[in-house]
Amino acid sequence: MTREPLFDTVGLIGIGLIGSSLARVIRRKGLARRIVACARRDSTLETVRTLGLADAVTKDHAEAARGADLVVISTPIGTNGMIARTIAPVLTPGQIVTDVGSVKQAVIRDVAPAIPEGVHFVPGHPLAGTEESGPESGFDTLFEGRWCVLTPPPGTDPEAVERVSELWRQAGSMIDVIDADHHDWVMALTSHLPTLIAFNIVGTVADMENHTRQEVIKYSASGFRDFTRIAAQDPVMWRDVYLNNREAVLEMLQRFNEDLSRLQRAIRWGEGEELEDLFRRSRDIRRGIIDAGQA
């Protein structure tokens, strides 16, 4: 017996790493009858065509949203408000709009006011990614075993939340539904702060004189290399994350700076026990991540 697709038409606005990975899952599992993909550049749309990721491609946001029972916005979050306002005139009651942005309160602030009555907005964030960008970098197992966090504002239609949840379940994800402010606070700690530290360390090296820089590259396997992988992520995406999760990131940075000063003190005064204690606790956290299957 062939199962009915979850959606008739999915409009993917933004078809980079995340959008194209979703397109691949939708294709492989037959989750929609038709995919319409939207991007800015001809070269991106050409790649999407060549890879067969969509049935139709367009540069027009509204064309991608018109008649789609699910619209997924997968562009840098700074563009989401503009995109919502552009597609609003063609949206009709019953359609579902979702997104994948790494910050949720700002996206809700920018998108929700534009969504017409009767159209369901279900904000989401798949906790999966790599340092690559663009449609060629996606793969259909990206979301497997990863969490997808949904942050529907109070009053969101539960059936719409369930349909979006089912899409992510089909992609292999586990679902959590939490408040947007809690999401942003947790992400500031687990994602935005560590990535900022990586950008900063790599930036420090980039500012060093050429001779030192060559040595850092030569001996990078001793630690630096892992930071460069994190810091190689898309600059526009991360610019938008920090500009849109400012409060939570600043709070985490404050705590980080205090803890770093404590470490600095421990090194200065030869307090080996304090250092060892922290390093032991760090190992426990790593073990916890491995045990949870998130390594």
Task: State how far the alpha carbon of 164 is from the alpha carbons of 126, 174, 216, 246, in Å.
Answer: 12, 12, 45, 28
Tell me the pairing of strands 174-177 and 124-126: unpaired
| Residue range at the interface with ligand NAP (CB under 6 A); choices 3-11, 100-108, 152-160, 266-274 | 100-108
| Residue range at the interface with ligand NAP (CB under 6 A); choices 87-95, 99-107, 147-155, 258-266 | 99-107
**Taking CB under 6 A as the rule, does residue 60 contact ligand NAP?**
no
x/- track of binding to ligand NAP for residues 131-150 (CB under 6 A): --xx----------------
Tokens of 42: 């001809």
Element spanning 72, H or E? strand 70-73
Q: Please, how many CA atoms are within 13 Å of residue 182, restricted to the half-sphere of its CB?
A: 9
Q: Report the site for ligand NAP in 148-187 (rule: CB under 6 A).
A: none
Virtual torsion, Cα 124, 127, 133, 137, nearest 10 deg:
-110
Task: Please select the residue that binds ligand NAP; options are 10, 15, 32, 148, rule is CB under 6 A.
Answer: 15
| Residue range at the interface with ligand NAP (CB under 6 A); choices 11-19, 145-153, 221-229, 260-268 | 11-19
* 11/14 with CB nearer ligand NAP: 14
**Taking CB under 6 A as the rule, does residue 248 contact ligand NAP?**
no
Task: Please select the residue that binds ligand NAP; options are 9, 75, 165, 173, rule is CB under 6 A.
Answer: 75
* 236/267 with CB nearer ligand NAP: 236
Task: Please select the residue that binds ligand NAP; options are 6, 7, 10, 13, rule is CB under 6 A.
Answer: 13
Q: Mapping DSSP to helix (H, G, I), strand (E, B) and coil, where does residue 68 land? A: coil
Please name the amino acid found at residue 76.
P
**Taking CB under 6 A as the rule, does residue 64 contact ligand NAP?**
no
**Taking CB under 6 A as the rule, does residue 18 contact ligand NAP?**
yes
Task: Please select the residue that binds ligand NAP; options are 40, 182, 229, 239, rule is CB under 6 A.
Answer: 40
Q: How far apart are CA 210 and CA 121, in angstroms?
A: 50
8 A C-beta contact, residue 101 and residue 77: yes
Q: How far apart are CA 52 and CA 277, in angstroms?
A: 53
- Per DSSP, 34 falls in state E
| Residue range at the interface with ligand NAP (CB under 6 A); choices 35-43, 90-98, 146-154, 165-173 | 35-43
Q: How far apart are CA 47 and CA 114, in angstroms?
A: 31
**Taking CB under 6 A as the rule, does residue 98 contact ligand NAP?**
no
Can you say how many angstroms the Cα of residue 207 is from the centroid of all Cα atoms in its chain?
A: 29
Contact partners, residue 99, CB within 8 Å, separation at least 6: 72, 73, 74, 77, 80, 107, 111, 123, 124
| Residue range at the interface with ligand NAP (CB under 6 A); choices 24-32, 33-41, 224-232, 275-283 | 33-41
**Taking CB under 6 A as the rule, does residue 78 contact ligand NAP?**
no
Task: Please select the residue that binds ligand NAP; options are 95, 102, 165, 244, rule is CB under 6 A.
Answer: 102
* Binding site residues, ligand NAP, CB under 6 A: 13-19, 38-41, 44, 74-77, 79, 100-102, 125-126, 129, 133-134, 234, 237
